[in-house]
Amino acid sequence: MRVLITLTALGEDLNNFELFSDVDSYVTPFESNLSREQLLAGYTTDLSPVGTIIIRVKSNGTTTPPCNEFIDINIDLIPVP
């Protein structure tokens, strides 16, 4: 399933992002090693599992203190052209 993910703001110390799907309860990333720049510019993936309703974007980069934050994006509400 093709999805375009564009984040409008990210902390400058965040990097090394992974994308997860609600299909497997956010267990296994379907994309990894994404940069801050890629997500701010708009990143298109064809690897989102069929049936995905929510994509979780999580940074696994090294920050001090460690970042355990993530954002869930509900793609079920986004109209498909």
Q: Which two tokens stand for residue 76?
A: 């079920």
* Residue the block writes with tokens 């940074």: 59
Q: Is residue 64 predicted with pLDDT exceeding 70?
A: no
Kindly report, residue by residue over 34-61, the tens digit of the pLDDT.
998 999 999 999 999 999 999 999 988 6
Please tell me what DSSP assigns to residue 75: G
* 54: nearest Cα among 12, 15, 23, 33: 23
Q: Distance from CA of residue 15 to its chain's centroid? A: 12
* Mean predicted confidence (pLDDT) in 59-81: 70
| Total Cβ atoms within 10 A of residue 28 | 12
